[in-house]
Amino acid sequence: MDFDELNDFADWESRRLADYYKKTNEEMVFPTAIKLSEEVGELMDEVLKHSGIQRKEKMESKDVAIGKIAEEFADVVLVATLLAKRLGVDVAHAIEAKIDKVRARRYD
């Protein structure tokens, strides 16, 4: 998948959710931001499981945890892209600019 496909999905999902909830794009910004926070929390829960730092009743095998970690990473990326779309941020451009900024750092 490339950024164009990710942006196309974000466009489609943005319209689908706005239609479903009968809200404008602007009205969907806050709920999308909350959803992103939820997804990051779910990712962190899986990281704790993978690290073995979780209550025993929440633990599972590392193979299962890795699969769930991958799924939660995807959720974070998708919801972050959707939020960026709602706020008018071009994710590809923002990432390229950030990479350029990081590469320009000097740690001498």
Q: What fold is seen in the domain 3-103?
A: Helix Hairpins (1.10.287)
pLDDT tens per residue across span 65-92: 678 899 999 999 999 999 999 999 999 9
At 50, is the pLDDT very low, low, confident or very high (cuts 50, 70, 90)?
A: confident
At 105, is the pLDDT very low, low, confident or very high (cuts 50, 70, 90)?
A: very high
pTM, entire model: 0.85
The answer to whether 94 and 43 have CB atoms below 8 angstroms apart is no
**So where are the chain's domains?**
3-103
Please state the length of the chain: 108
Query: What is the spatial distance between Cα 13 and Cα 84, in angstroms, rounded to a whole number?
Result: 12
Q: In angstroms, what is the C-alpha Rg of the chain?
A: 17
